[in-house]
C-alpha cells in the first residue's frame, strides 16, 4: 500500500514515515496540500494522511480537492486542534470527505490501527466488487 503523508512539520513527517515504513508501507511526503496534489499526479497513492492546520494549502481545502479529483482515494485527517485546541475541525473534515480522523497526539499504535482498518475496508470493498462481477 502506498501512503502519502501531508504535514508542514518536518519532525511529524519523519516520525509518521518511520512508523509506516517500519510496518511495510511505501511512504511519500508532502509539506502542504499543494505539494500533495502535485505529488499524487505522478505518484498515485492508496491513502492520504493529512494534517488540517498547515502553512500553504491547509487540510480542509486539500481534502476537498482530493475528493473532487480522486473520489475513491482514502483520506485520514489528523489535527491537534491548532492554536485554540478546536477539535471540531476533525468533525468538519469528516463532513467534507475524510474517511477517518486521528486527533493529535496519537500513538504509533493508533496510527497503524487507523491505517490497517482503512486498508481492510478497501480490500473488503474490492473483494465485494470483484465477486459481483464488477471491475
The answer to whether 76 and 49 are in contact (CB under 8 A) is: yes
Q: What is the pLDDT of residue 82?
A: 56
Cell of 93: 473534515
Q: What is the pLDDT of residue 127?
A: 57
Q: Is the pLDDT of residue 126 over 80?
A: no
Could you give the percent of the chain with pLDDT greater than 90?
72
Q: Is the pLDDT of residue 134 over 50?
A: no
Cell of 6: 501531508
Domains and CATH numbers, the chain: 2-131 (3.40.50.2300)
Rounded CA-CA distance 80/76 in Å is: 14
At residue 21, the 3 state secondary structure works out as helix
| Model confidence pLDDT, tens digit, residues 108-118 | 999 999 999 99
Q: Average pLDDT, whole number, for the chain?
A: 88
Could you give the percent of the chain with pLDDT greater than 70?
86
Where does residue 108 rank: exposed (0-12), middle (13-18), buried (19+ CB within 10 A)? middle
| Span 14-25, average pLDDT | 97
Amino acid at each position: 500500500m502506498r501512503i502519502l503523508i501531508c504535514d508542514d512539520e518536518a519532525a511529524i513527517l519523519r516520525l509518521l514515515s518511520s512508523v509506516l515504513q517500519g510496518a511495510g508501507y511505501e511512504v511519500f511526503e508532502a509539506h502542504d496540500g499543494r505539494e500533495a496534489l502535485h505529488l499524487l499526479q505522478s505518484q498515485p497513492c492508496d491513502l492520504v494522511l493529512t494534517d488540517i492546520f498547515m502553512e500553504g494549502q491547509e487540510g480542509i481545502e486539500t481534502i476537498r480537492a482530493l475528493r473532487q479529483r480522486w473520489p475513491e482515494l482514502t483520506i485520514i485527517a489528523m489535527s491537534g486542534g491548532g492554536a485554540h485546541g478546536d477539535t471540531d475541525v476533525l468533525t468538519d473534515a469528516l463532513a467534507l470527505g475524510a474517511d477517518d480522523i486521528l486527533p493529535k497526539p496519537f500513538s504509533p499504535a493508533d496510527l497503524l490501527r487507523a491505517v490497517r482498518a482503512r486498508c481492510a475496508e478497501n480490500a473488503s470493498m474490492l473483494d465485494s466488487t470483484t465477486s459481483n462481477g464488477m471491475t
